Structure 1
Amino acid sequence: MITVNNDPKPPPVGGVLWSMVGDIRMLLTLPPALTMQVAHPAVGAGVDDHSVFRTDPWGRGERSLVSLQLWVYGGEGAAEEGRRLRRLHKTIQGTDAHGRKYHALTPAYYAWVHATGYPVFRYAQQYLGRPFTEAQERALYAEWLQVGRILGIRDRDMPQTIEEFWPYYHKVLDNELEATVVVRELIATDRPVPVPDRGPRWLRLLLRLTWPWLGPRFVRFRRFLTIGLMPPDARQAIGLEWTDAQERRLRRFGKVVRAVVPVLPERLRFMPIARRARRAARG
C-alpha cells in the first residue's frame, strides 16, 4: 500500500528564505520580531506567564533559532517541528493585562506571531543586505505563508497576498499593539542579563570574566537593534522613540555588516543547520 505524505513542504531550495534564514544576519532580526509579537497583549501575557525568557534567555533564543531553521532547512522534519510547537502551545493560556482570556493557539494570536516575520525581514534587509526587489518581496511573502502552513496556520487565518497583508497589519498596529510589560523588559537597559552559558568551555569562561563590563553594553546594543530594525510604523504604534542620530548610527552599522558578512567563509557566515542543508543541496 502506498502511503501519501500530505505534510506541508518547506520553502524551496534556493528561495529567498533559503538564502536568509541561515545567515548570521538573521540573529539581528530576532529581537525586533519578538518585541512586535509580545506587543500584542495576548501574546505578551502568554510570554510573561509561561516563558523562561527571564531565567534562560540564551536557551530560549537558541531554541527559537533552531526551530526557525528547521522550518526552512528541515526537509521532512519541518512539519514535525511545526507539530511539536503546536503541542507545546496547547497548554499556554490565561488572562492578559486587560482581563481578557487568551490561548496561545487562538488563530488571530498565533497568526500574528508568525506574521511579524515578514515586515521585519523586509525592513531589516534595507540595512543588512540589498533591498528586496518587488519580485523578491512577493516570493518572500509566499514562502512565509508556506512556513505558516508548516506551523499549522490555516490559509483563512493569514492574508494570502501582500495586498491583503498590509491592511491586516496596520489594523493590528492601530488597534492591538502597546508597550506591554514584556516589551518594556526586552528594551530595558537597567535589567541584568545572565552570562551566556552556550559554546565551548574557554568561551564561557571568558564571558564570565568579562560580563560585568560586556553585559551592560550588550543590553544597550540589543535595545538599539530592537528598535532600529523594527519597521517605523510598528515602532510608532508601540510608542518607542528613535532619533535621527540613532538612525545615522544604524546606517553606519549596516554598512559595515553589508561589507563584512558576504565575504565571510561559509562556516562563519551560515549557522550549522543551514550549512548542512546547503552542503546536502549541492550534493
Structure 2
Amino acid sequence: MTEPLRVLPNESATTCRYGTADDFAIEEFFDGIVTVLGGAANVVMQLALQPVAYGVMESDVDSGRADLHPWKRLRTTLTYLSVALMGDEADKADYRAEVNRVHRSIRSTAGSPVKYNAFDPQLQKWVAACLYWGVIDLKEKMHGPLDEATADVFYRYASSLGTTLQMRPEMWPATRAEFDEYWRAGLERHEIDAATVAYFDHLIDLRMLARPLRLAAPIHRFIVTGLLPPHVREQLGMTWTDRDEQRFLRLFRMIGSAQRRLPQPARLFPMNTLLWDMRRRRRRNMPLV
C-alpha cells in the first residue's frame, strides 16, 4: 500500500543539504523520470475531484485534451512542472499568462453536472497538492525516505506548484502535518462517477495512442495502479495484492539505483529540456502552451 506522508509538528533540528526554501537546489534533488512515470496516476488523483474532472472532460480547448492530443498535453503539463519547480520568476510569470489565456473559457455551463472554473484557486490548490504528493511519493519509492529537514524544506519550496497559477501563498498548508490532514480529507470526500472512470480507463489503457504503442498498456496500468492511494484504487475497482506491491517496489528501487548513477543533465531529463524549449519558444514569440 502507498505509504502516508511522514509528518512532524515542528521544524527539524537538522540541516537540509539542498539549502533553504529560498535557495533550494532543485537540480540536485529532482529526478525528471518521476514526471513521466507518475504522470497518468497524478492525473487520476487530480481528476478524483469532480470539478477538476469535468473541467478537463468538458473543456472546449481541444488542443489541450489528453484524449485528443496526448503528446501536446504531455508536453504542456511537463513544461508547467519544469517552470514551477525549476524556472525563474520571469519564466513563471510568462507561463502563468499563457495558461491563463487558454483557461479563460474553461468554466461550467448550465448542463454541467458540477460547477467549476479553471481560475478557482481551491481547485488549483488540489492539483498542486497532487503534484507535490506525486513527486515525494515517487522520490521515496526510488531512493528511500527523505530526512525530515529535506522533506520540510522541499515542502515549502513546492508551494510554487500552486502559486505559479492562482493559488495564493497563504493557501498552502503551513506544515506537512496540515498538508497531510488536507490530503486525507480530500481523498476521503471524493466520489468518482462512471463518466470519470471511463475517462480514466481510456487514459490508463493508452487508447488515445497509435495501436503499436498500446502494447505498453499492461505495464502502464500496473504502474498507475501501484502509484494510486488505496482509497482511489478501491473507487476504480482495481485489485492490488501483496505480491503486486513487492514487484512494484522492486521495480522502483531498480529505477532509483539507475537514476543515481546518471550525470545531472541525464537525471533531470526531460524537465531540463522542456524548460529550455519553453525559453526558446518565448524568444521566438511562439506559443508556450
Change over 3 Å in CA distance of 1:180–1:13 after alignment to 2 = farther
* 2:68 pairs with 1:49: no
Which residue does 1:232 correspond to in 2? 230
Q: CA deviation at 1:237?
A: 5.8
* 2:195 pairs with 1:181: yes
* 2:87 pairs with 1:74: yes
* Structure 1 segment 129-278 matched on structure 2, within 5 A: 129-178=143-192, 181-188=195-202, 192-195=207-210, 212=212, 215-236=213-234, 240-271=238-269, 274=272
**Comparing 268-277 and 174-183, the one that deviates more:** 268-277
Q: CA deviation at 1:250?
A: 0.6
* 2:87 pairs with 1:89: no
Q: CA deviation at 1:244?
A: 1.5
CA distance in 2, matches of 1:268, 1:49: 37
Which residue does 2:74 correspond to in 1? 61
User: For 2:99, what is the secondary structure of its paired residue?
Assistant: helix
Asked whether the 8 Å contact 1:37–1:112 carries over to 2, the reply is yes
Q: Deviations over 1:30-87 (max 9, x none)?
A: 2221110011111111111115211111221111111211122221212221232233
- The number of residues matched between the two structures is 250
Scaled by the length of structure 1, the TM-score of the pair is 0.76
Query: Unpaired segments of 5 or more residues in structure 2?
Result: 1-20, 277-289
| Percentage of identical aligned residues | 24
The structure 1 residue matched to 2:35, chosen from 26, 31, 37, is 26
Q: CA deviation at 1:264?
A: 2.5
Scaled by the length of structure 2, the TM-score of the pair is 0.75
Query: Unpaired segments of 5 or more residues in structure 1?
Result: 1-10, 196-210, 279-283
CA distance in 1, matches of 2:238, 2:42: 14
The letter of the residue matching 2:76 is R
Change over 3 Å in CA distance of 1:60–1:146 after alignment to 2 = closer
The letter of the residue matching 1:193 is M
The structure 2 residue matched to 1:105, chosen from 119, 124, 132, is 119
